[in-house]
Amino acid sequence: MSMICRQCGKTIENEEAAFCPYCGTKLAAEKASETVNEEAEKWIRKARAINSYPEKKKILLKGLEACPGDRDIEWELLFIGEEGPKKGWALDFSIIKCWVLELYRKPGEFSEEKRNSMRSQLFEAPQLVSCLQKFEDPKQKQQEYLLRLCREYTEIFLEGDSQVMGKLFGFSLERNKEKRLAVPAAQMIERMKVDEKLLPEQREQLWKAMYQAYAVRAQDNTQYLDEQLR
């Protein structure tokens, strides 16, 4: 019998699994948690079924109207950002919350004010702090939040970047994915480790989440990343 990870929405075939093989969430803790609001789950599943982030947000906000204060809908909303002002043909990825991690990949592209704003989304945003307090273990949930951000960033902005993955006849190359991802992942981890605008424990939480996200996407083959970090 399969089950759905409520952290990342992926289907897990092994119902006895203690951790989600896709995002690393502790599944045992989920099984013992409070009864799930089935109405809220319907809205969450509906939002996860589409790719458009603006549409996801509309659905989740409607769900929050139907289920006021529901912590799981609020949790899903944490991974959707705010649309920035239109600037001609320039692409704006701010609606995708994990994009804030671009701060550690291309820090020179942002003003200090923008970097501070992006950084605040990782630990201090009011919406985040309020949502975390609704869970039994806010510290554990904070770590899950960082892990999911890092995993989604790796999937969307690293694996989706042809300069990172390479292309053949217009298709991204999956071969040697672990090696291709290791360089940008290591660069980001090194910057996270020395970000003095974060508290020491925050830096550690963040870089370890990035490391774990890489491990998940590389199917636990961290050899190339470890070599880059030496």
For residue range 171-193, list pLDDT tens digits in order. Answer: 555 568 899 999 999 999 999 99
- Containing domain of residue 148, as a range? 99-230
Q: CA-to-CA distance for 98 and 146, rounded, in angstroms?
A: 9
* CA nearest neighbour of 181 among 198, 156, 201: 156
Residue 93 is assigned to a structural domain of this protein: no
Bridge partners, residue 168, by sequence? 171
Residue 11 is assigned to a structural domain of this protein: no
Residue 30 is assigned to a structural domain of this protein: no
Q: CA-to-CA distance for 130 and 71, rounded, in angstroms?
A: 10
Residue pair 119/197 in contact by the 8 Å Cβ criterion? yes
Residue 74 is assigned to a structural domain of this protein: no
Residue 157 is assigned to a structural domain of this protein: yes
**For 86-103, how does the pLDDT look when each residue is reduced to its tens digit (9 = 90+)?**
666 557 789 999 999 999
Residue 224 is assigned to a structural domain of this protein: yes
Residue 73 is assigned to a structural domain of this protein: no
Helix axis angle, 200-217 to 138-153, nearest 10°: 50
pTM (predicted TM-score): 0.84
Residue 190: CB atoms within 10 Å: 13
Residue 31 is assigned to a structural domain of this protein: no
Task: Give the count of domains, the chain.
Answer: 1
